[in-house]
Amino acid sequence: GENVEQHPSTLSVQEGDSAVIKCTYSDSASNYFPWYKQELGKRPQLIIDIRSNVGEKKDQRIAVTLNKTAKHFSLHITETQPEDSAVYFCAASMGGQGFSFIFGKGTRLLVKP
């Protein structure tokens, strides 16, 4: 079936360093790729998204890149801060008869001060 793989499952970086989280998807009809941030005990919140007609999108310290040929997309966080510590989820829209979104399993990011 369709799938979204997310790596790594945990990531630890020093404050100020960059963090990269990668996802791959299987449905070639996918055309929308959101990223969510979940702080402890709270719901995942949408932080950035990208559509298939765009290769890169930036919003301050976060950016997302998309490679449709390779079917992978990545979240980049620069100049990481302790408040970036959270669980991050990727997702991909499904174009076929399957359910409309598949979520990655999540990456726990820890930013050490």
Partner 1 sequence: DGGITQSPKYLFRKEGQNVTLSCEQNLNHDAMYWYRQDPGQGLRLIYYSQIVNDFQKGDIAEGYSVSREKKESFPLTVTSAQKNPTAFYLCASSNRVEAFFGQGTRLTVV
- Comparison of 16 and 105: residue with beta carbon closer to partner 1: 105
The token pair at 84 is 């970036």
93 binds partner 1 per the rule CB under 8 A: yes
Pick the piece of the chain touching partner 1 (CB under 8 A) from 14-22, 56-64, 68-76, 103-111: 103-111
When binding is defined by CB under 8 A, the residue of 19, 24, 44, 77 that contacts partner 1 is 44
C-beta separation of 101 from 41 below 8 A: no
> Is 42 one of the binding residues for partner 1 (CB under 8 A)?
yes
Q: Which of 21, 24, 64, 104 binds partner 1 (CB under 8 A)?
A: 104
Report if residue 24 touches partner 1, rule: CB under 8 A: no
DSSP string, 44-111: -EEEEEEETT-SEEEETTEEEEEETTTTEEEEEE-S--GGG-EEEEEEEE--SSS-SEEE---EEEEE
